[in-house]
Amino acid sequence: MRARELGPGTRAVHAGLPEPRQGEPFLPGPAFAAPFHLAGDVDSAPFGYQRYGNPTWAAYEAALGDLEGGNAVVFASGMAAVAAVLLPALKEGDALVVPSDCYPGVRSIATEHLAPRGVEVRQVATDETEILGALGGAALVWLETPSNPGLDVVDVRRIVDAAHGAGAVVAVDNTLATPLVQRPLDLGAEYSVSSGSKHLSGHSDLVMGHVAVRDGERLEGLRHWRGLTGAIPGPFEVWLAHRSLATLAVRLDRQTANAAALAAALRARDDVTGVRYPGFGTVVCFELAGAADAQAFLASCALVAEATSFGGVHSTAERRARWAKDAVSEGFVRFSAGIEDTADLVTDVLQALDRSRR
């Protein structure tokens, strides 16, 4: 049976593990090396120097490739993965369509590094009509769906078909959805990009990223870029990420149930407005009256850590406007549901809202 036909929980547990061998561990430990023994011909061993490859990455990349339905290249961070797609792909005179509401670092690469080199940067909202209207003559379309922090959703397949018709390739930042929920390569995108610092590793203890592709030339291009720029993760972090992948499906199940319960509880309150929850996923956004109300709420939560990022086993939340990078109101809260018991989490959030009410 091919692993891709198995259920998501099964695939996550088995992805990238070696064939069982008597007396060997399930997941071999991290391989620490700068050079590897390499006598004679440089092609005579799979690994020669850590910056170009490592058995620990190879196992994790096999796992990610299995979940993505393609070939994965692991990077030092989500932003290293983003840069590996955007920087080599675009040259002077090309046009890039990028969401105005996507991860701020992606927009900064576009405006601070691509635009000054003559790339036309078209920023449009995560909205099908707007994106379709911006495709003419574009070389690359960047999508993030659900978007972050607005949690807007677009039909990837529809945009991919139109983009291909216009001669553009498509990259999807799939960090929020994860490949267990949405597989951009199956939907026709050329690149599936993710931060591994969020759901994929899920324990708020490491920073990582990857890109998955199907085309062999793109795969070689990404590996070459990683080797040249040295945007490589350490083997211990990769091993931790691979270990954490086994629980991805069960973490997502609980986190999604918690997020849905929170969204319902928040919608029932008159002191909370603009509850955003696309019906799946682990992140809920909502608005309180202002910055002071949002900060008082965050300070009143006992089980919810005030921290940025999302996707971890511990519930976290933050007032998003404190970063001044997203077009959101002062009282906008992005809430990442963890794996706590649902009743405990909802009770804590409701008591914090009551206590912080002025």
Ligand X SMILES: *Cc1c(COP(=O)(O)O)cnc(C)c1O
Least distance from ligand X to the Cβ atom of residue 167, Å:
26
Q: Specify the stretch interacting with ligand X by CB under 6 A; choose among 34-42, 77-85, 216-224, 274-282.
A: 77-85
Are 174 and 154 within 8 A, CB to CB? no
The DSSP result for 107-139, as a single string, is HHIIIIIIGGGT-EEEEE-S-HHHHHHT-TT-S
Pairwise CA distance, residues 236 & 243, whole Å: 11
Residue of 50, 145, 148, 315 that binds ligand X (CB under 6 A): 148
Residue of 68, 144, 190, 340 that binds ligand X (CB under 6 A): 144
Under rule CB under 6 A, residue 340 binds ligand X: no
State the amino acid at position 236 in one-letter form: F
Q: Which residues are catalytic?
A: 51, 103, 173, 198
State the amino acid at position 106 in one-letter form: V
Beta strand 332-336 with 316-319 is antiparallel
Pairwise CA distance, residues 285 & 128, whole Å: 21
Under rule CB under 6 A, residue 226 binds ligand X: no
Under rule CB under 6 A, residue 283 binds ligand X: no
Least distance from ligand X to the Cβ atom of residue 207, Å:
5
Task: Please classify residue 328 by burial: count the beta carbons closer than 10 Å to its beta carbon, then call 0-12 exposed, 13-18 middle and 19+ buried.
Answer: buried
Comparing CA positions, the residue from 297, 296, 287, 301 lying closest to residue 330 is 287
Residue of 16, 65, 70, 78 that binds ligand X (CB under 6 A): 78
Locus of tokens 């918690």: 258
Least distance from ligand X to the Cβ atom of residue 48, Å:
28
Least distance from ligand X to the Cβ atom of residue 316, Å:
13
Q: What angle do CA 132, 138, 139 make, to 5 degrees?
A: 130
Residue of 54, 145, 197, 244 that binds ligand X (CB under 6 A): 197
C-alpha distance from residue 176 to each of 88, 198, 327 (Å): 24, 8, 19
Under rule CB under 6 A, residue 209 binds ligand X: yes
Under rule CB under 6 A, residue 50 binds ligand X: no
156-195 footprint of ligand X as x/- string (CB under 6 A): -----------------x-xx------------------x
In sequence order, the β-bridge partners of residue 241 are none
Comparing CA positions, the residue from 18, 213, 255 lying closest to residue 263 is 255
Query: Residue 188 has which token pair?
Result: 């026709």
Residue of 56, 77, 201, 316 that binds ligand X (CB under 6 A): 77
Least distance from ligand X to the Cβ atom of residue 336, Å:
10
Under rule CB under 6 A, residue 315 binds ligand X: no
Q: Specify the stretch interacting with ligand X by CB under 6 A; choose among 26-34, 75-83, 121-129, 275-283.
A: 75-83
Residue of 207, 260, 298, 346 that binds ligand X (CB under 6 A): 207
Distance from the first to the final alpha carbon of the chain:
59
Residue of 12, 15, 63, 79 that binds ligand X (CB under 6 A): 79
* Residue count, binding to ligand X (CB under 6 A): 16
Least distance from ligand X to the Cβ atom of residue 191, Å:
13
Q: Where are the beta strands (DSSP E) in the chain?
A: 71-75, 95-99, 120-124, 140-144, 169-173, 191-195, 209-213, 273-276, 283-287, 305-306, 316-319, 332-336
The residues of the shown chain that bind ligand X, judged by CB under 6 A, are 77-79, 82, 103, 105, 144, 148, 173, 175-176, 195, 197-198, 207, 209
